[in-house]
């Protein structure tokens, strides 16, 4: 986990070492295999993967008052512990545009549920010579499905 104020220096060091940078972002509230596979796909796009993580207030604005289920510090620790992830940086805005402007990643990665034209920061990345990669999704795997399943009453016949 890195302080956003230190991000530009780290990006400079990574680029000085000749590494390409991939960036993705999300809430990563209940980490599941769909998240893992997108992160692994993102890591394959470059030599260094930075993950932008929505802060708790941002998640509440985007997902509702009952979220996040897992607090920011724990979500950040879980992400940082994954082999695919090189660096986690938090943000409190609703979009990671400021982070993308700071990083100017070589590859901006989102899940294939995003329409290419709607990917936040796409223009910034492409203007700098980078590209957008839409990672394949794992069917039937999402935080929303997990939350719905957990909230469903137990099956009385089971």
Q: In order of start, what are the domains of the chain with their CATH numbers?
A: 4-151 (3.40.50.620)
> Residue 54: its pLDDT value, please?
97
> Residue 49: its pLDDT value, please?
98
Q: Which of 90, 108, 95 is nearest to 23 (CA)?
A: 108
Q: Which two tokens stand for residue 110?
A: 């989102």
> Residue 138: its pLDDT value, please?
72
Residue 100: how many other CB atoms lie within 10 Å: 24
Q: What's the rounded Cα separation, in Å, for the pair 43 and 109?
A: 9
Supply the Cα-derived Rg of the chain in whole angstroms: 16
Q: Where are the beta strands (DSSP E) in 19-141?
A: 21-26, 48-54, 87-91, 107-111, 131-135
CA dihedral 68, 73, 78, 81 (to 10 degrees): 160
The reported pTM is: 0.89
Q: Which two tokens stand for residue 38?
A: 């997108």
CA 5 to chain centre: 19
**Residue-level pLDDT, tens digit, the chain, 158 residues:** 898 899 999 999 999 999 999 999 999 998 989 999 999 999 999 999 999 999 999 999 999 998 999 999 999 999 999 999 999 999 999 999 999 999 999 999 999 888 999 999 999 999 999 999 999 987 666 656 665 666 777 765 55
Q: Which of 25, 15, 6, 30 is nearest to 141 (CA)?
A: 30
């Amino acid at each position: 986990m890195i302080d956003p104020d230190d991000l530009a220096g780290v990006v400079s060091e990574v680029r000085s070492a000749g590494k390409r940078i991939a960036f993705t972002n999300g809430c990563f509230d209940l980490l599941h295999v769909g998240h893992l596979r997108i992160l692994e796909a993102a890591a394959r796009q470059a030599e260094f993967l930075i993950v932008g993580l929505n802060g708790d207030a941002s998640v509440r604005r985007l997902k509702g008052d009952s979220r996040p289920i897992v607090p920011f510090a724990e979500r950040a620790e879980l992400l940082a512990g994954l082999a695919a992830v090189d660096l986690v940086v938090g943000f409190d805005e609703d979009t990671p545009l400021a982070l993308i402007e700071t990083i100017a990643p070589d590859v901006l990665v989102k899940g294939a549920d995003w329409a290419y034209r709607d990917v936040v920061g796409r223009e910034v990345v492409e203007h700098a010579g980078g590209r957008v990669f839409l990672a394949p999704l794992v069917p039937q795997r999402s935080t929303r499905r997990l939350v719905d399943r957990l909230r469903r009453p137990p099956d009385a016949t089971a």
